[in-house]
Amino acid sequence: MNKKILKAIKIAVIIFIIATLACSLIVSQDEHHLETCHEDHCIYCAIIHFAQNIINLTIAFVVAIVIGVLSYFFLSRLHKEQVIFVQSSLVFQKVQLNE
């Protein structure tokens, strides 16, 4: 029961985030209102600026994740630690001498 509720909550949060990004992308494209508006505290201008901030933060977050993944990938390839198992048992040493 709890797993179903958690799964439903996760899906709802993901859908909400995607819908927010989609709406922000659509609203932030309305540059015409920003150019023609002359009011001091216009709610539409505030919404457009808020949507533009969401899009800019999303882009910055994605760029930071890509940089982190790429740096992790390249740094993990830089230093490979080779582990060589040295067996020092008497049986192993006898086999080495016999070869």
**Per-residue confidence (pLDDT) for residue 65, from 0 to 100:** 94
**Per-residue confidence (pLDDT) for residue 11, from 0 to 100:** 92
**Per-residue confidence (pLDDT) for residue 91, from 0 to 100:** 75
Number of domains in the chain: 1
Percent of the chain whose pLDDT exceeds 90:
19
**Per-residue confidence (pLDDT) for residue 12, from 0 to 100:** 94
- Interval 71-90 mean pLDDT: 73
**Per-residue confidence (pLDDT) for residue 81, from 0 to 100:** 64
Range of the domain at 24: 2-88+90-98
**Per-residue confidence (pLDDT) for residue 84, from 0 to 100:** 63
Tokens of 13: 């949060």
**Per-residue confidence (pLDDT) for residue 66, from 0 to 100:** 95
Tokens of 60: 């910055």
Run of H or E residues at 31: helix 31-36
**Quick one: three-class SS letters along 34-97?**
HHHCCCCCCHHHHHHHHHHHHHHHHHHHHHHHHHHHHHHHHHHHHCCCCCCCCCCCHHHHHHHH
- Interval 34-46 mean pLDDT: 81
The Cα 43–Cα 22 span in angstroms is 20
Percent of the chain whose pLDDT exceeds 70:
87
Tally of CB atoms within 10 A around 24 = 21
